[in-house]
């Protein structure tokens, strides 16, 4: 009678028939080898054949793969349960919304819109938090030679205040930290961007200048610094920086508008017109059409001015400044009825003669009447245009600089 081959369980040492997958006593999956012979202390001086060694290795890999597979199966099961629970929760919420909508308690479309806006806002806040954490670590990576602990404390307190929406306190602490070091470009750029976005170009220029001196090839910094120089009246420096940024980084609305505005202060109308056209190509927007129409109006080209103004109000029916200027264009070409309608749509008060209000006229002239002073690229512009310039400048060339880093 042939001898029956048995397989011993590696956990409880129970005897199992060869070919059985699980131990009949404890249920453990049976493996050929669970511990390499060469790894045992008592076998350290014994020689191990190649076949035995390969068999041991295969068995160990098999054991680990089995454990990994079991964990993945459990994870998949948990995910499926979570997905099922989420589906049931969403079904329940939709049912409740339908009941409340039928009773006139809530508006389902309005609720859906608010929910989507809230989700987008949460996503933006998460990205902002991640960005601030990464930036804080980058700033702390280059501390000053002395008083590094004080520097780290100020940076930490500043970012904490910013995350808690105490922006003024936070940037006050970051400014104090920046005074302790001149070589921390990340910190200086963060502060400069904040004041640039806030419209405080004089303070922004101080910090952006430090960053530009450290990284003169950064096209984004060159653009921001050039815009602040233009706003402060330093036309030559602004031209050099902005033109260089556009040459190396490509077109952007803020850059071409700045060059057009600088040419306009020098009465170089053809060059200004070309730059404003390029600004429109870079960012087709109501603001770009309004800028181009303002210059056409100043050059007495009313047909082209009205064309761009109509395009601007088509893109945004709440653009009051565009309606004001459109009323002036219609008034000058004798279309008083259309001029009155444009003023009414702008929310302006009209007199019996149909003339535009002084306020409306000042809003328009504030944009294109720049011949007397070269100061105020953004601060003298209307709020909407200034906000569009700052937003576009802060977004310009971000991908280029990220790839370089």
Check residue 362 and give its pLDDT.
43
Checking if the pLDDT of 93 tops 50, the result is yes
- In the DSSP assignment, the letter for residue 182 is S
- In the DSSP assignment, the letter for residue 5 is P
Check residue 373 and give its pLDDT.
56
pLDDT tens digits along 337-377: 888 888 888 875 443 334 444 444 444 554 555 444 556 77
Length of the chain in terms of residues written: 405
Q: What whole-number distance in Å separates Cα of residue 280 and Cα of residue 229?
A: 23
Residues β-bridged to residue 7? 16
Confidence of residue 15 (pLDDT cuts 50, 70, 90): confident
- As a whole-number percent, the residues of the chain with pLDDT over 90 amount to 38
Q: What whole-number distance in Å separates Cα of residue 271 and Cα of residue 84?
A: 63
Residue 36 has φ and ψ, to the nearest 5°, of -65, 135
Q: What are the DSSP calls for 321-368, one per residue?
A: HHHHHHHHHHHHTT-HHHHHHHHHHHT----TT-PPPHHHHHHHHHHH
CB 287 within 8 A of CB 385: yes
pLDDT tens digits along 42-65: 444 455 567 766 777 787 788 788
pLDDT tens digits along 215-271: 999 999 999 999 999 988 888 999 999 999 999 999 999 999 999 989 988 888 899
CB 187 within 8 A of CB 207: no
Checking if the pLDDT of 301 tops 60, the result is yes
Q: What whole-number distance in Å separates Cα of residue 189 and Cα of residue 198?
A: 14
Checking if the pLDDT of 184 tops 50, the result is yes
Checking if the pLDDT of 148 tops 60, the result is yes
Confidence of residue 150 (pLDDT cuts 50, 70, 90): very high
Check residue 139 and give its pLDDT.
93
Pairing state of beta strands 6-8 and 15-17?
Answer: antiparallel
How much is the mean pLDDT over the chain? 82
Q: What whole-number distance in Å separates Cα of residue 4 and Cα of residue 396?
A: 79
Q: What whole-number distance in Å separates Cα of residue 191 and Cα of residue 159?
A: 12
Asked which of 5-9, 163-167, 209-213, 394-398 is least confident by mean pLDDT, the reply is 5-9
Residue with the two structure tokens 């160990």: 60
Checking if the pLDDT of 383 tops 60, the result is yes
Q: What whole-number distance in Å separates Cα of residue 57 and Cα of residue 78?
A: 32
pLDDT tens digits along 96-110: 888 888 777 778 778
As to burial, measured by CB atoms within 10 angstroms (0-12 exposed, 13-18 middle, 19+ buried), residue 77 is exposed
pTM over 0.85: no
Distances (CA, A) of 394 to 38, 181, 262, 291, 318: 63, 25, 20, 20, 25
Of 19 and 83, the structure prediction assigns the larger pLDDT to 83
Q: What whole-number distance in Å separates Cα of residue 13 and Cα of residue 16?
A: 9
Of 2 and 312, the structure prediction assigns the larger pLDDT to 312
- Element containing residue 34 per DSSP (H, E): none
CB 205 within 8 A of CB 374: no
Specify whether the backbone of 3 is left (phi greater than 0), alpha (psi in -120 to 50) or beta. beta
Check residue 282 and give its pLDDT.
93
As to burial, measured by CB atoms within 10 angstroms (0-12 exposed, 13-18 middle, 19+ buried), residue 99 is exposed
Checking if the pLDDT of 25 tops 80, the result is yes
């Amino acid at each position: 009678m042939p001898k029956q081959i048995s397989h011993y369980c590696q956990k409880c040492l129970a005897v199992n028939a060869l070919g059985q997958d699980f131990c009949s006593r404890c249920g453990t999956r049976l493996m050929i080898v669970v511990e390499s012979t060469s790894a045992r202390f008592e076998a350290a001086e014994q020689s191990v054949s190649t076949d035995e060694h390969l068999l041991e290795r295969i068995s160990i890999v098999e054991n680990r793969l089995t454990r990994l597979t079991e964990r993945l199966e459990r994870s998949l099961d948990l995910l499926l349960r979570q997905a099922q629970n989420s589906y049931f929760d969403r079904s329940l919420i939709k049912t409740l919304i339908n009941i409340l909508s039928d009773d006139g308690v809530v508006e389902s479309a309005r609720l859906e819109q608010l929910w989507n806006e809230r989700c987008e806002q949460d996503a933006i806040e998460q990205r902002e938090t991640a960005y601030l954490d990464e930036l804080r670590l980058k700033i702390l990576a280059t501390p000053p030679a002395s008083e590094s602990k004080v520097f780290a404390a100020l940076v930490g307190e500043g970012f904490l205040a910013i995350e808690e929406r105490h922006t003024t306190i936070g940037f006050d602490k970051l400014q104090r930290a920046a005074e302790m070091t001149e070589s921390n470009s990340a910190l200086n750029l963060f502060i400069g961007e904040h004041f640039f976005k806030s419209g405080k170009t004089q303070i922004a220029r101080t910090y952006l200048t430090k960053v530009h001196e450290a990284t003169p090839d950064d096209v984004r910094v060159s653009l921001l610094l050039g815009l602040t120089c233009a706003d402060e009246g330093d036309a030559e420096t602004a031209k050099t920086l902005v033109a260089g940024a556009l040459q190396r980084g490509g077109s952007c609305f803020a850059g071409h508008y700045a060059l057009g505005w600088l040419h306009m202060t020098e009465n170089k109308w053809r060059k200004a017109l070309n730059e404003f056209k390029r600004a429109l190509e870079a960012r087709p927007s109501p603001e770009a059409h309004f800028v181009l129409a303002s210059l056409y109006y100043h050059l007495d080209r009313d047909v082209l001015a009205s064309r761009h103004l109509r395009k601007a109000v088509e893109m945004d029916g709440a653009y009051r400044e565009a309606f004001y200027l459109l009323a002036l264009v219609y008034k000058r070409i004798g279309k008083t009825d259309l001029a009155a309608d444009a003023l009414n749509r702008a929310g302006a008060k009209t007199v019996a003669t149909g003339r535009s209000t002084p306020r409306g006229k000042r809003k328009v002239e504030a944009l294109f009447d720049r011949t007397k002073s070269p100061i105020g690229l953004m601060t003298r512009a209307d709020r909407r245009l200034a906000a569009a310039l700052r937003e576009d400048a802060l977004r310009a060339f971000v991908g280029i600089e990220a790839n370089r880093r």
